Amino acid sequence: MAITSLPLFGPDPVQLEVKPWVLAYIVMPVFVKLVFCLVGKGIKHYMAASPHQSSVPTEKLQKATLHASKFILYFSSMFFVAPLFFDIVGQFNAEPPEPVSLPFADPSHNVQYLKWVVSIPTGLYVTELVLDMDAWPAPATVLHHVASILGLCLLLGAVPWLTLVDTLLFTGCPIIGWFCLSLNWVSYICFAMYHLSTDISVKIFLAKFVFWYSFITVPAQHILLWTWVLLKSHYYRSWAPFLVIFVIDCVLLTDHVYTIYCVDGMKKKCMREADEVAGKQFKEGTVGETTCSPVLLGSNLPGFAGGRHDKGNIGNTMQPQEHLQKDDGARGVDIV
């Protein structure tokens, strides 16, 4: 049959069914990028209206934009995933495992709801990996993002690999993990303040706070995850879920430990710089006097430095301008 005699369309076209939640995974990276742009413009506008805009380097503004954007995404997603999380927690002692019954009475609606919700971390991680190819996150964070995206693809049924019971049990793992990760909105707003602040005592306080806060959220995530897995271990119909959960969780734990290490480095670096400022002022006989203009954030927060930095007003002494141009050691990526 000649090509010219063929109709434009076949007589019996096949219609492929596309679930509505698939659109979320197409649109979410664009939405995340839009959030980054709007937050960046907001911070630039705030800095332009501030008399101290020249004291914060451009690199710090970019990091503050990244962390402030993550704060918005993590804070909002915490409320979306909370009903699913509390339903899973309520099933820790349930026998046998049941489909998620919140926030909707129909379990099938909750499955669709979960697929919409997990598009937030997927879109965020994809955007962060491709946002700036010249400044990728640390290798541990890249593995974290890739492992998370892989786990979510397996959850969405991209590969038919689980029985119905195994699927119910496996679904609890990303719900627990993402809720605990969403609690890091606290850390991200602290990081944004850290990069916008020019007060060394405020920087030390924020680094210390995030360091100890991480010791709550990180163990909580992994302990709750494996409590769920082990309590339901006698219901699994295959060993594949155990292997996948173990590998992904090891990758996530590696990034979490690396993050805590980086935050500890930020804290120690700020404390060393505070000691240098204090020593310089002691030699010049200007202890308790500021060395530059008032700070952008937290200029009247005495005693935040703690320990040996609380003597006199040393703990509230400004960071010299030459220190402001240095890198703070913050990697500017995921805290989880």
Q: DSSP readout, 11-62?
A: SSPPPPP--TTHHHHHHHHHHHHHHHHHHHHHHHHHHHTSTTGGGS-HHHHH
What Cα–Cα distance (Å) separates residue 138 from each residue in 143, 184, 262, 280? 9, 18, 11, 35
> What number is the average pLDDT over the span 6-31?
77
SS3 336: coil
Is 17 part of any domain? no
What Cα–Cα distance (Å) separates residue 189 from each residue in 36, 226, 230, 240? 14, 29, 34, 38
Higher local confidence (pLDDT), 157 or 319: 157
Higher local confidence (pLDDT), 288 or 243: 243
User: Does the structure show a pLDDT above 60 at 5?
Assistant: yes
What Cα–Cα distance (Å) separates residue 186 from each residue in 196, 220, 300, 318? 16, 15, 22, 25
Is 101 part of any domain? yes
Higher local confidence (pLDDT), 118 or 156: 118
Is 8 part of any domain? no
Question: pTM to 2 decimals?
Answer: 0.77
Is 155 part of any domain? yes
**Confidence band (pLDDT; 50, 70, 90) for 298?**
very low
pLDDT score of 110: 87
Is 333 part of any domain? no
pLDDT score of 144: 93
User: Does the structure show a pLDDT above 50 at 230?
Assistant: yes
pLDDT score of 1: 55
Q: How far apart are CA 298 and CA 302, in angstroms?
A: 9
**Confidence band (pLDDT; 50, 70, 90) for 325?**
very low
pLDDT tens sequence across 60-94: 888 899 999 999 999 999 999 999 999 999 888 87
Alpha helix (H) ranges present in the chain? 22-48, 58-90, 107-117, 119-131, 139-155, 164-182, 185-196, 200-231, 240-284, 321-324
pLDDT score of 76: 94
Q: Which residues contact 278 (CB under 8 A, 6 or more apart)?
A: 287, 309, 314, 317
- The domain total for the chain is 1
User: Does the structure show a pLDDT above 60 at 336?
Assistant: no
Is 10 part of any domain? no
Closest residue by Cα to residue 282 from 319, 312, 326:
312
> What number is the average pLDDT over the span 278-292?
62
Is 6 part of any domain? no
Q: Which domain holds residue 308?
A: 22-44+54-324
Percent share of the chain, pLDDT over 90: 40
Is 160 part of any domain? yes
Report the b/e string of 163-192 with b at 16+ CB within 10 A: eeebbbbbbbbbbbbbbbbbbbbbbbbbbb
pLDDT tens sequence across 182-210: 999 999 999 999 998 888 889 999 999 99
pLDDT score of 318: 40
Percent share of the chain, pLDDT over 70: 78
